[in-house]
Amino acid sequence: MNEDTESVPHPTQRLNDTVHHRTRLGIMAVLREVDRAEFGHLRDTLDLTDGNLSRHIRTLEQAGYVEIHKGYHGRRPRTWLSLTDQGAQALTEEVAALKALVARLDDPPSA
């Protein structure tokens, strides 16, 4: 590992644990593809349980990355979720760090 690569933080050091967790990364990635997603749709797309999805949504909401919208579909109560601007920014930074990591693995710095 030559001098340059040692002074530059390793790409994985730029990863944000709140976003990087496999399930939360999936939630944020799906939410970025749509304006907002219904709770059940997220649960099924990511093959999660209600409890597991709720737990991770709470973490993302507390971090300010996800917004929860309550409403009705006909008479049935429904929950929709959307990324906040802060969440979209955090995901963009996570993806940039993942791209840097993948690029480095594809073309490793001279040891």
Q: Out of 4, 47, 51, 76, name the contact with a copy of itself by CB under 8 A.
A: 47
The contact pattern for a copy of itself, residues 74-103, with x = CB under 8 A and - = no contact, is -----------------x---x--xx-xx-
Residue in 7, 84, 70 with CA at minimum distance from that of residue 39: 70
CA atoms within 13 Å, Cβ hemisphere of 46: 24
**Distance, CA of 9 to CA of 51 (rounded, Å):** 36
Strand partners, 37: 81
What does the binding site for a copy of itself look like in residue numbers (CB under 8 A)?
A: 1, 6, 9-13, 15, 17, 20, 22-23, 25-26, 29-30, 32-34, 41, 44-47, 91, 95, 98-99, 101-102, 104-105, 108-109, 111
